Structure 1
């Protein structure tokens, strides 16, 4: 039932736009496998073989560490309502750090140059394989809304508080791998 594609076509682009959550999957040699849920509010299809998301400050930065160590990254979206489908985007990840021209260009292009509260980096995926599968066993869920807790937390911390938090929590992975993260 799985189908493979070289790129994200219009049908799959529309599928991505209609989802509310996606998952990142990453690992590096000798590390734990990391799977993280994320809101699609900050996921963007940049081209037929490129997606990127604005990564918000969190308690760890496993994806960045794994991308730095190995590069392999998978994003998965699945329909929790409507027609069942699972979409996986496979490829090599790269990170655009705060303060870099790539980070600024992304914010200019997609956020009018404004940095959303808690933003820490951009995770980009250069896609080498797009795969769909049936999703027949994925349960149905209703989307109630987005949580505002992270935005409120980031705003309360302020820029200096976020810098200190990221320096403490986001410099290395849980396995001790460097993330490459730095605040400008």
Structure 2
């Protein structure tokens, strides 16, 4: 049962037994699939209209968690990849959210490359993030993995802001978002 208290003319819930009143936030790694779809559409439009892509059969296909790049040669495939990256950056999708597989020779002398979309924080990256936060040495700060996100708590809001700044400076090779701030 939730109890409420009147504080400064606002009704706020009292913490349940065992809950702490410490500020917290969540670290997640998500990609906006709509923005990726828009970037792929824009890249395909540019490839169709550009003169240097005429008669190269260059395509970009978006599936659920992968993007397939196809072109007549590995050089043209590199140009297709560059166009896709430009459009992703323009749509504010981090390039850390994509991982490229090896270029394959496909049938008919064409080249193909699979691009995987990286979403969620893997257990290895979560361990790395937790270790990094612990090594910061901010007194009273804790981090714990909750599925594909990490909950960080500290005694003061300033400590949380310091943790966020340190995480932004460090390269974890995945896109990080900070949200769900609570006082």
Is TM > 0.5 for Structure 1 vs Structure 2?
no
Structure in which a larger fraction of residues adopt helix:
2
* TM-score calculated relative to the size of structure 2: 0.30
Structure in which a larger fraction of residues adopt strand:
1
* TM-score calculated relative to the size of structure 1: 0.30
